[in-house]
Structures are given as C-alpha cells and as structure tokens.
Amino acid sequence: MDSFAGLESFVRAADLLSFAKAGRLLGISASAVGKNVARLEQQLGVRLFNRTTRHTRLTQEGALFHERCRRILDELDDARAMMQDAIAAPRGRLRVSLPTIGYRFLLPVLPAFKARYPEIELDLDFNDRLVDVIAEGVDVAIRSGELVDSQLVARRLGPFQFVLVASPAYLARQGVPQVPADLARHACLRYKFVTGGKVEEWDLPGLPERLPPGLLCNNMEAMLGAAIAGLGVAYMPDFLARDSLARGELQRVLAAHLVRQGQFSALWPSSRQLSPKVRAFVDFAGEHMFKETVEDAATGQITK
C-alpha cells in the first residue's frame, strides 16, 4: 500500500469532511480517496470516519490521528520546499485565492509574472466567500481587511480608496448630492457580503440614519453594472470603477467627504516554510500589483 497516498487522502478528507472535495483537491476521484482511507483503516485496525449518505465525521480515534498526520504532512511539505529552494527556480502548481474582482488588479500584471516564472502553474480561485486557507490547501490568499486568524501570516501589498459613483444620466435625472445628507434622496446600491450577508457600511461623516434602498447584491461586478445602467449611487473600490470613470460611464460624487482607505494583503499559513513559488508570487505582487495606486497616494492624486 502507498502509505503516503493513504495519509494524504485521510488528512485532506478530514480537513474538508468530504471525500469528493478531497478528491478534487488531490486530483483523484472520490472513490480513490475512499479506497485509500479504507486501506489505511484496515492497516491501523481502527475506524477513522463515520459516514452516512449526508455526512462525513471523524471518529474520536480519527480526530487524534488527524492532528498528528497533519503535522507530518506539513513537515514533509516544508522539507520539499527547502529542497526546491536549494536546487531549483520556483516551479509547480500555486493555488491562489482572490476576491471576485481580483482579476482587475491581477490580470494586467499576469503576463509579466508568467514571463519571469514560466515554471509556476497558477491555479486561480476568484470568489468572495471567507476561504479557509489551511483546510482548503490554498497556498496564498489575497484579501482586504484586517488579519484575524493567528494561524496565518500577512504581508501588505497595497492600499486602495473607496469612491461613490453614479452614471451621468442618473445624476442629470436625480441631481448631484452636495453633502452626505443628500443621499437620503437617492437610490443607494449596497454590497452584501457573501459570508454572513452583512451589508457593507458607507464610511462618510454626516450620512443619513438610513440610506434609501436602491439595490442589494453580493457581487461587486453586478453593482458596477447597476451603477452604469443608472440605477443609483454605488460605493466601491477605486480600481473597480477606474475604467468606467475614464470612459465617462460613471462620475464621482462627494469625493471630498470620502476618507476610508482599504488595504490588500497576501496571506499564507504561519506554520509552513515559505516555499519558493509562494515567495516569488508574494514578492512580485508587492512590487507590481498595486504600484499605480501606491504612486497616486504618494503624489496626493486621486485615482480616477
């Protein structure tokens, strides 16, 4: 029996509590994961999982075994990374998780990254849910906001600003708000977080107690489209609105009242040796990905 395959199948299935998800992560079928785990259980003489048609749960013995095996696999990964660092250029598959709108700041610099590191195979996952970096086997995640997980290390990549925008047609019809209190007379397009369903707050002093509901959606690109279509005033990151502002599809409002600045960071597990491919990606991202925004901030300009 391939003991390593059995251990790896068990750990990934225990991380995700799903043989199917573990199979997708490992690049094998769910039945292959099940067979690997079954052989491991037979070898150990204990049952590691309790499975029904709807749920997969670790047994008490399985939970104890998982904790030890997880550390073993992490040590093996670290040893492999150290060898790669010593003998080779960064290479291999790199799983990167980004917010849905992350393609807007990643894709422009992607050709330069691929030219510099042709042996790194990028596996990009764009989504707005709260990703479990460790359990889902993500090498590095790019997210905004403060780091709250002590099991992760963060490196700041670059800042961004929030802007309020609306279409020229909407503003001609409804008028241009001059102070935040004027938003009480406008349709407000609000972003709802995928995880938890909380509605994003607009960080402006002097806002009315309740913003009139124009639209709620959990996708920033959809909100951008709604603003361009003239459905109301939207609050979004500057890099999302930049192209539409340049084309005249959107217009900034209340710019002098917007003080909030966001921050993107790269996150990776603190318990792991920083592999060459992760180091290469994080260093490149810090150098290139938010260069335009950083330069604008340094010169005091507001990105259009």
Domain boundaries, the chain: 3-86, 89-304
The domain made up of 89-304 is a member of CATH 3.40.190.290: yes
Supply the pLDDT for residue 294.
40
Question: What distances in angstroms separate CA 236 from CA 126, 223, 286, one per listed residue?
Answer: 18, 9, 22
Residue that is written with structure tokens 């059995």 in the block = 6
Q: Do the beta carbons of residue 191 and residue 215 sit within 8 Å?
A: no
Report helix, strand or coil for 105: helix
Supply the pLDDT for residue 300.
37
CA pair distance 245, 230, nearest whole angstrom:
14
Q: Do the beta carbons of residue 200 and residue 193 sit within 8 Å?
A: yes
Token reading at 93: 């598959």
State the DSSP string of 256-270. Answer: GG---EEEEEEEEET
Supply the pLDDT for residue 110.
92
Supply the pLDDT for residue 295.
42
Supply the pLDDT for residue 150.
67
Supply the pLDDT for residue 298.
37
Q: Do the beta carbons of residue 173 and residue 145 sit within 8 Å?
A: no
Mean pLDDT for each consecutive 10-residue tract of the chain (304 residues)?
78 91 91 92 91 87 90 80 68 90 89 93 88 86 75 85 95 95 93 84 87 88 95 93 94 90 86 79 88 46 36
CA pair distance 58, 13, nearest whole angstrom:
10
Terminal Cα-to-Cα distance of the chain (whole angstroms): 60
CA pair distance 167, 162, nearest whole angstrom:
17
The CATH architecture to which 3-86 belongs is Orthogonal Bundle (1.10)
CA pair distance 159, 169, nearest whole angstrom:
31
Question: What distances in angstroms separate CA 302 from CA 110, 163, 203, 285, 293, one per listed residue?
Answer: 25, 10, 17, 22, 9
